[in-house]
Structure 1
Amino acid sequence: MDRKKLVLLLGALIVAIGTAFAARSMLTGAAAPQVDAAALPAQPEGPKVLVAKRALPVGTIITADAVGFQLWPQEMVQDAYFLDGEADMAKLIGTVVRNPITAGEPVTQGSLVSPGDRGFLAAALGPGMRAVTVPVSAQTGVGGFIFPGDRVDLMLTQAVSGDGQELKATETILRNLRVLATDKFTETETTPDGKTVVRNVSTVTLEVTPKIAEKISVAQTVGTLSLSLRSIADNQSELERAVASGAVDLPEGATKEQEEKLLRQAMARPQDGASTFVTGGDVSRFQRSSMPVLSQAAPAQSGGQPVAAGPAVPSGPTVRVTRGKDTTVESVNRGAGALLDRTGQGARAVGRTAPTALTTLR
């Protein structure tokens, strides 16, 4: 093969390769828009409206994670909807759901109640719950650091009178009560720069059951009520203990959503169980730790004479001395230490011949 034919053959090969690449590029460019157009779903047209991200029952306080904006068909948008760009989210946060809203349902203006509006407090109450107000001060109200939405425990302090020194005691009678309002404010006040305003309040309104409302009404006549602020983590730890002990019953076969709903209800429930208490004797050695005994004459029976009073109980410190089967109670004067020492030595001496017990009473 001569050189001329070889050059022509190489030229034809180069032209064929270039033509093939050009044809492939043209075919790829023409087919790509069709593939992209088929792959992309049709974008809905219309404004964004405020919808619920989860089910919002009556009494739910709106938070930033409870609602969000979503595209909505233009022909289905109503005047009562909150539109993106027009709704003020700062004013919506803290409002309360008046009518139940399902997940994905648009939030309407009539379904929310704002703080200060008529019926706000009634809407904030859960089904079957009541609102009661208790008086507080800077000392009994945690110095003003209690705000709507917090959880508190209720303590009762009282003095029980009787013969001798009165018994001073404080007991926690109720737990996990939700604060609905402080004074007449149902939301936390903030300064223009976003800082929370702390102020002393004179009343606190709590969400309770009807039975607890009756107990609080009686407790206000018994002694002084004070509040203790609960930690956010308390409910979770107490709930775990309740589930482990069986106090909270999770049905078998329940879905995760059902379990979460039951647990949320248990965490929000006021606790009216066994109370804990502290007496003056737990605080100071010079205070009583037991109930004082009343020595008054009992009321007269109908048509009869007054019942004779029991033996008077000595006032002040006493000791109970038991010798054999006989027990006597003796008062201790200012020289209590010396008397106890002498009595103890005498008891040890007598103990060699007769059983003797010495018990100190408060």
Structure 2
Amino acid sequence: MERRNIIIIGVAVVFGLLAVYLANAYFSGVEAQQERVAEEQQLVRVAVATQDLDFGSALTAENVRLVNWPAQSVPTGAITDLSRFAGTDVAIRPIAQGEPILQSRISTRAVLSENIPEDMRAVTIPVNEVAGVAGFVTPGDVVDVFMTRTIPGGEDEKVTAVILENVQVIAIDRRASENSTEPQELKMATLLVDQFNAQKLALATESGRLTLALRNVENQTTGATQMVTTRDLPGGRLRYASRSTAPSSAPAPRTPAYRAAPSAPASAAGSTAPSYGGPTMLIYRGTDGARQEVNRGSN
């Protein structure tokens, strides 16, 4: 019985070793065949990501592999050696699954400064939920920057002007990946600008309130802007006279509502019409008229 068990175990071990040998031979043959195909079709082996990699993700042998790539269309900076991916390199920009891994997208440290091109600057400006387009501005978006301030000497009149156009957002608060598109409460936005525009942003932050306007990333039209003042708003051209502090003059005497009756014709020479102390009215009886005083206290 024991001899038979030993024989069974030995046969199982042999079959196991044979299976491992055949598997290794198969995969080695596939790898060799791909290399031969690459040589025959003028292909090169390029490192690509096997999964989506976010900003700061470490690159290892588990998430990177080599694939055949046409030699005439290999991207600049492509990596052809997997031995360098030992967990020391990280992605400084998001890399999609199947996308070639380029030297410009990886670094030994995951810092935002690695994303800043030469002669460019990253400037952070304060924004709120309204100024930041309700939280829908994400890294990678393109925006215009508005500044609203009071016109000096304009009696509280305000003006809004576009100070920067077609500016790329590289970070929102502490988030530097454009993969997360959920709206969130904003406090800071980091923009990619040149040195002169960085100075403009620094001055505008101290001079007025900044607002971001999200624009289509494919729209590169710039320059067709104008300033908007309070007078451009509905009713903005209305002006109210200020109240006078000078004492008002005495009101003019009111004219009586009645009309004074015409004076009675003079009677015989040397005689005068009777004098009345109040309003009168002319009453005719037939063809004869007589003037009579009106009693204002009567009902």
TM-score in terms of structure 1 length: 0.41
More helix by share: 1
TM-score in terms of structure 2 length: 0.49
